[in-house]
Amino acid sequence: MGVKRALLSLLAAILILAPAHSQIIRESDQLPQGAIIYSLPQTSIRVSVKVLCTEFTPGPYAAWSEKYLGVAAQRNAKKTYTFQQIEITPFVEADPSLNVALNLGNSKNASANFLNFCSQGLIVAPGYFNSSSAPLRFPAYLPQQFNEAVPHLGTQTTQLYKSVTNENGEVEKVAVPQTQVVAKPSEKKAEETAALIFRLREKKIDILTGDTDANYSGAALGSAVDNMERLEQEYTSLFLGRNVTSVMEASFDVVPEAKGGKQNIVAFRISDTQGIVGADNMSGRPIYLELVPIGKVENSAGADASSSKGKIAYRTPMPASVRLLDGQSVLGQSRVLVYQLGKILYFPMDVALGR
């Protein structure tokens, strides 16, 4: 009984004195049994962009706009994209290349320190990432339809001749007019539409100056003028074309590399035909995220594993200046804290922090 009691006392002493220690796990390392696995944080930068798309569709009578209205019209369809809003937002996530195995032993100070580092975000759970990514919203393409102002069909009269014998027995040719329903040529419809536009303008002036037999007053006057202006704009668009606007929204996550010096990363691209596209779509011009560290970057990812014995490995961030660039134009800028540019440090587990 004495020997057994002595062995139990020795085992209890070993457990009480079991040291806490941590170990940075490389990709080729095997995970130790019974250890807590955590990750060091890294910063990803979310770029949210809102673009106004303006689509111009030429009118079907653009070729005759200058002839009948005296105004030159654009004849080619065109899309333009204008930035409306840019947001640069940093997020913290787990660095998949830097996991740490931690054995807290049975030290109360080590457990308290570990929880304290977790609450401060200096260490994070493995695989942690921010999942609040905004959905991509793109406008549906709706082809422009123009309503013609004049009838599409018209009548055409042609002269036919037939031979008849008169009273004197002589053969004569007699004209016989024949009317047919045919489609009007586009220029003819343009001419008639232009005449309608000028009549509307004259009628509107007559109403506003009171030079008309009809009596308009109050709401009736405003309604009559509004309807005439609406018709005039609709008819004029048949010559000058129509602009339709829509909004495109998208978000892209960029992860800076853990290296020193300035970084230029393609965040997304702008295509002349598709608008906002991904960074790998070569049809658009690149929009760069420029990142410049504020301070000297020291790559400590390869720190000596022996320095982590009895300590908690953690990572501190480094400030960096961030700009979003479209060529030489600055779309937005901010100052962010980037963890992967910071140092990997070690804190003694058994140190009691004062409260």
Strand-pairing partners, residue 243, are 56
With H, G, I as helix, E, B as strand and everything else as coil, classify residue 83.
Answer: strand
User: pLDDT of 11-52, one tens digit each?
Assistant: 333 333 445 566 777 666 777 777 888 889 999 999 999 999
Give the pLDDT mean for 155-183: 73
Give the pLDDT mean for 156-169: 73
pLDDT at 135 over 80: no
Looking at the chain, the whole-number percentage of residues with pLDDT higher than 90 is 41
Token pair 């608008």: residue: 275
Cα separation, 239 vs 281, whole angstroms: 36
Cα separation, 299 vs 342, whole angstroms: 8
- Is residue 48 within 8 Å of 289, Cβ to Cβ? no
Most confident range, picked from 21-25, 117-121, 151-155, 235-239? 235-239
Give the pLDDT mean for 269-298: 91
- Is residue 316 within 8 Å of 21, Cβ to Cβ? no
pTM > 0.85 = no
pLDDT at 261 over 70: yes
pLDDT band at 268 (very low <50, low <70, confident <90, very high): very high
Amino acid occupying residue 232: E
Any alpha helices (H) in the chain, and if so which ranges? 2-16, 65-68, 108-120, 186-209, 219-240
- Is residue 103 within 8 Å of 35, Cβ to Cβ? yes
Looking at the chain, the whole-number percentage of residues with pLDDT higher than 70 is 81
Q: What b/e sequence results for 107-131 when a residue is b if at least 16 CB atoms lie within 10 Å of its CB, and e otherwise?
A: beebebbbeebeeeebbbeeeeeee
Strand-pairing partners, residue 95, are none
**Residue-level pLDDT at 290:** 97
Give the pLDDT mean for 124-128: 83
Taking alpha carbons only, the member of 184, 175, 176 closest to residue 156 is 184
Cα separation, 306 vs 303, whole angstroms: 9
pLDDT at 88 over 60: yes
**Residue-level pLDDT at 17:** 40
pLDDT at 187 over 50: yes
Cα separation, 105 vs 35, whole angstroms: 9
- What is the rounded average pLDDT for all residues in the chain? 81
Cα separation, 267 vs 86, whole angstroms: 12
**Residue-level pLDDT at 46:** 93
pLDDT band at 177 (very low <50, low <70, confident <90, very high): confident
> Which contacts qualify for 329-338: CB closer than 8 Å, 24 or more apart?
331/83, 331/86, 331/287, 332/86, 332/87, 332/88, 333/88, 334/88, 335/294, 336/43, 336/45, 336/88, 336/90, 337/43, 337/90, 338/43, 338/90, 338/256, 338/291, 338/293
Which is more confident, 123 or 321? 321
Give the pLDDT mean for 97-114: 80
Q: Where do the structural domains in the chain lie, given as residue ranges? A: 15-143+245-348, 178-239
Torsion of CA 273, 279, 280, 285, to 10 degrees: 40
